[in-house]
Structure formats: structure tokens, C-alpha cells
């Protein structure tokens, strides 16, 4: 097996329809829809849950690759990645259940492979910075909002399930914070590149500009500052993220 494998080797059952993130967003914009589901309808809710489901699957696959790709990394790093694989496999199961709960089916919405692509980064430090801190940090924001909306809708199934998953995600972001530091100790250049990779993800994948600083009732997706602090983000990093959302692109 190659270390790492080419990103187009990601294997799926036929029922999954894979598309580029940009193409899906454009197809939505053409139809007057927001590029990222705004949870304003049942279909939009299913779209969001389906997007998270495939994201969880890619997170499991990416963490699995990190177990395989870095035999020379510290053993504790491998142990953390193996733990993450197990967590993500349970998240997949949870979201399969939630999709069913909402009357959806696997494959009902296109799958984009953004997380997987980031998980194919060659450097372990870049991988944990980009995936664990960048994308799973973003997942904390999204899950926090989902819990808030589920509570408002009176759907305890979604509210509680996502709350459990959020707890794990905070742990994964924390793992990312730890390993970004440990793997790049004494190597300023490697650290700079890893953080740059994370910053580029934070700027590019900002949920169509919906993620902002502010309360749930005021902004579409609120940056989950408390969850991020628990996960090892410094106040300075959170400030930087807030600034980056103010100049973000569409996707």
C-alpha cells in the first residue's frame, strides 16, 4: 500500500454520487439556493445531516490513513489516531441513524470530498492542523448550531445525538492541538507550513460566509468559542479565525 495513497482511491459504494464542492455550490446558486444548507426546510436539514455523514466517513478514513501512513511517528500519536478512527466509526453510525430518523437515504445528496483531500496531506503535522484543528474545529461550530436548532425544533433525538458527537470532536481538535505542537517542536518551518495549511482551510471553507462571530440568534453559524477553548485554541487564534471569516470566499 502506498504511503499516502492518491486521493482518488477513496472507495465508495455505487449509491454515492460524488461531485466537486464548487459544482454543487454553483448548481445550488443557479437555483437561487444558499450554497450551504440553511436548515430552513426538511430537505435542507437532510442535506446537512447527509453532508455531515459523509464528512464523518471521510474523517474515519483519514484517521485510518494516519494510523498507516506514519509508522515512524510517536506511538502515542498513532494511538490517538486509532482512537479517532473508532470515534468516527460511531459518528457514522449515529448519522446513519439520524438520516433514517429524517426519512432520508444514503446517497440522497452529492458527496464532496473536501475533508478527505485535506486528510491526504503528506505531513502528519499538516494533517492534524488542517483536519483536526481546521475542519473538526469547523465541525464544532456546525454541531453547536445544529444542537441549538434541534432544541428550538423540539427534536431531542438530533439534539442529544449531536451533543455526544460534539464532545468527541472537541477531543479530536484537542488531539490536533497537541500533535501540532509536539510534531513540530524545534522545527519552526514545519510548524509554519502546518499552520498556513490550517489557515487556508479556515479561510476557504467558511460555509458560504455563514460562519461568523456572534450569538446563535444573530448569525447563521456562530463560532463555538467555548468548545474551541476546551479544544486547545488560544484567544489569539480565535480572534484570527473571526477576522478570517470577515474576508472569506463563497465556499
Minimum Å gap between C-beta 95 and Fe ion is 9
* Smaller CB separation from Fe ion, 47 or 169: 169
* Smaller CB separation from other proteins, 24 or 165: 24
Among Fe ion, other proteins, none, residue 153 binds (CB under 5-8 Å by kind)? none
- Residues near other proteins, by CB under 8 A: 1, 5, 9-19, 23-24, 27-28, 31, 33, 43, 57, 60-69, 71, 75, 78-79, 81-83, 85-86, 88-89, 92-93, 96, 105-110, 116
The Cα-based distances of 62 to 46, 70, 113, 152, 155 in angstroms read 24, 12, 11, 33, 31
* 130, HSE (Cβ side, Cα atoms, 13 Å): 27
By the 8 A CB rule, do 175 and 132 touch? yes
The DSSP secondary structure of 145-198, one letter per residue, reads HHHHHHHHHT-HHHHHHHHHHHHHHHHHHHHHHHHHHHHTTT-HHHHHHHHHHH
| Contact letters for Fe ion, residues 144-173 (x by CB under 5 A) | -------------------------x--x-
* Smaller CB separation from other proteins, 66 or 212: 66
Among other proteins, Fe ion, none, residue 239 binds (CB under 5-8 Å by kind)? none
Q: How far out from the chain centre does Cα 33 lie?
A: 22
Among other proteins, Fe ion, none, residue 56 binds (CB under 5-8 Å by kind)? Fe ion
SS3 36: coil
Give the DSSP H/E element, type plus range, for residue 211.
Answer: strand 211-212
**Between residue 80 and residue 99, which ones bind Fe ion under the rule CB under 5 A?**
88, 91
d(CA 67, CA 75): 10
* Smaller CB separation from other proteins, 164 or 246: 164
141: contact with Fe ion by CB under 5 A? no
Q: Give the residue from 171, 164, 129 showing the smallest Cα distance to 150.
A: 164
**Between residue 174 and residue 213, which ones bind Fe ion under the rule CB under 5 A?**
none
SS3 12: coil
* Smaller CB separation from other proteins, 82 or 242: 82
Minimum Å gap between C-beta 161 and other proteins is 15
* Smaller CB separation from other proteins, 55 or 62: 62
Interface residues with Fe ion (CB under 5 A)? 56, 59, 88, 91, 136, 169, 172
Amino acid at each position: 500500500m502506498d504511503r499516502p495513497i492518491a486521493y482518488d482511491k477513496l472507495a465508495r459504494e455505487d449509491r454515492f454520487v460524488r461531485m466537486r464542492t464548487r459544482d454543487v455550490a454553483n448548481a445550488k446558486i443557479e437555483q437561487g439556493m444558499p450554497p450551504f444548507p440553511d436548515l430552513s426546510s426538511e430537505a435542507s436539514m437532510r442535506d446537512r445531516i447527509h453532508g455531515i455523514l459523509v464528512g464523518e466517513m471521510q474523517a474515519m478514513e483519514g484517521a485510518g490513513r494516519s494510523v498507516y501512513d506514519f509508522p515512524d511517528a510517536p506511538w502515542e500519536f498513532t494511538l490517538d489516531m486509532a482512537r479517532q478512527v473508532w470515534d468516527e466509526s460511531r459518528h457514522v453510525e449515529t448519522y446513519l441513524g439520524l438520516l433514517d430518523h429524517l426519512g432520508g437515504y444514503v446517497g440522497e445528496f452529492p458527496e464532496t470530498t473536501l475533508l478527505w483531500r485535506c486528510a491526504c496531506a503528506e505531513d502528519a503535522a499538516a494533517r492534524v492542523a488542517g483536519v483536526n484543528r481546521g475542519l473538526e474545529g469547523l465541525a464544532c461550530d456546525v454541531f453547536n448550531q445544529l444542537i441549538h436548532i434541534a432544541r428550538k425544533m423540539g427534536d431531542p433525538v438530533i439534539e442529544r445525538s449531536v451533543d455526544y458527537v460534539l464532545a468527541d470532536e472537541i477531543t479530536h481538535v484537542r488531539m490536533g492541538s497537541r500533535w501540532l505542537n509536539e510534531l513540530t517542536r524545534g522545527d519552526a518551518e514545519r510548524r509554519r507550513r502546518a499552520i498556513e495549511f490550517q489557515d487556508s482551510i479556515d479561510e476557504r471553507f467558511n460555509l458560504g460566509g455563514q460562519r461568523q462571530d456572534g450569538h446563535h440568534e444573530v448569525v447563521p453559524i456562530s463560532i463555538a468559542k467555548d468548545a474551541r477553548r476546551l479544544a486547545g485554541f488560544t484567544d489569539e487564534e480565535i480572534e484570527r479565525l473571526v477576522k478570517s471569516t470577515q474576508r472569506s470566499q463563497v465556499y
